């Protein structure tokens, strides 16, 4: 796919990986629908594109709310007339042990709220945005490409029952959609990053992060630009479908 002049929807676009991917696409002449639930961050982010010639618009929406997502994609089609690519990137963390003990006594367990809120954003949000984007692409007869953001925690990370389950689910959706949507010329791939230097990682427990980096063969965090580069590669390479690109600094 030639990115120039195409229309891309990026969720969680106001900061971190979503912002880096959006900037990477804008630098190649893409038109962008920047989606985020944080209006203040979104407005700030939109201002940073003022020198770009392509059309860039911001949309406040919660990707886990079906009504919001349906209205969002209707509005994007109304504004741009087409959607060629989607980056299903919005995500949250609410880490915690399934069961936490001290002196052999149970002191807490993962709450249903912490489980459900991560599943709602990181898995249901991907489902809803992917479904709506695919519907628009099929209705308009457009060739398209969807990128779902997974994580290396899809294999099961300590303290991440909710996050790991959602990110493994995202890989399953990627595989199903690649099989179901190829007949409409819609490709679906996933990126599974290791630790990337974003605000999400900055908010992690420093000890857990330090131990995580020690296990990375390249001994450093990934940069958001390295993820943006991967997203651009996926959009441009038209034979890549149903793949999960692990970009994690080497095998553990």
Residue with Cβ nearer ligand NAD (43 or 238):
43
The answer to whether residue 161 forms part of the interface with ligand NAD (CB under 6 A) is no
Instruction: Pick out residues in 99-158 that bind ligand NAD (CB under 6 A).
Output: 121, 125, 149, 151
What is the SS3 string spanning 161-174?
Answer: HHHHHHHHHHHHHH
Q: Which of 79, 135, 199, 238 binds ligand NAD (CB under 6 A)?
A: 199
49 is catalytic: no
The answer to whether residue 24 forms part of the interface with ligand NAD (CB under 6 A) is no
The answer to whether residue 12 forms part of the interface with ligand NAD (CB under 6 A) is yes
Strands 105-109 and 99-102: antiparallel
The answer to whether residue 17 forms part of the interface with ligand NAD (CB under 6 A) is yes
User: Are the C-beta atoms of 106 and 48 separated by less than 8 Å?
Assistant: no
User: Could you tell me if residue 159 is left (phi over 0), alpha (psi between -120 and 50 degrees) or otherwise beta?
Assistant: left
Write the DSSP assignment of 55-102 as a string of letters: -EEEEE--TT-HHHHHHHHHHHHHHHS---EEEE-------B-SEEEE
Residue with Cβ nearer ligand NAD (41 or 133):
41
User: Are the C-beta atoms of 10 and 22 separated by less than 8 Å?
Assistant: yes
The answer to whether residue 16 forms part of the interface with ligand NAD (CB under 6 A) is yes
Q: Which of 3, 8, 9, 15 binds ligand NAD (CB under 6 A)?
A: 15
Chain contacts with ligand NAD (rule: CB under 6 A): 11-12, 14-18, 36-38, 41, 62-64, 89-92, 121, 125, 149, 151, 193, 195-196, 198-201
């Amino acid at each position: 796919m030639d990115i120039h002049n195409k229309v891309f929807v990026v969720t969680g676009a106001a900061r971190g990986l979503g912002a880096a991917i959006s900037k990477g696409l804008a630098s190649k002449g893409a038109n962008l629908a920047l989606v985020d639930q944080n209006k203040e961050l979104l407005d700030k982010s939109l201002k940073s594109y003022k020198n770009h010639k392509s059309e860039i618009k911001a949309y406040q929406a919660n990707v886990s709310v079906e009504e919001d997502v349906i209205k969002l994609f209707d509005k994007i089609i109304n504004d741009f007339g087409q959607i060629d690519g989607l980056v299903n990137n919005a995500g949250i963390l609410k880490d915690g042990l399934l069961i936490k003990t001290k002196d052999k006594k149970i002191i807490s367990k993962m709450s249903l709220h912490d489980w459900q809120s991560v599943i709602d954003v990181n898995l249901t949000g991907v489902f809803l945005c992917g479904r709506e984007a695919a519907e628009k692409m099929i209705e308009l007869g457009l060739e398209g490409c969807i990128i779902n953001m997974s994580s290396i925690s899809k294999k099961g990370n300590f303290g991440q029952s909710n996050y790991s389950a959602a990110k493994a689910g995202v890989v399953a959706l990627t595989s199903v959609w690649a099989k179901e949507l190829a007949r409409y010329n819609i490709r679906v791939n996933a990126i599974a990053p290791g630790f990337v230097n974003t605000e999400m990682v900055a908010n992690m427990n420093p000890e857990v992060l330090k131990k995580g980096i020690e296990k990375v063969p390249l001994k450093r965090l990934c940069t958001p630009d390295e993820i943006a580069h991967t997203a651009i590669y996926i959009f441009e390479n038209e034979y890549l479908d149903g793949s999960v690109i692990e970009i994690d600094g080497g095998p553990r």
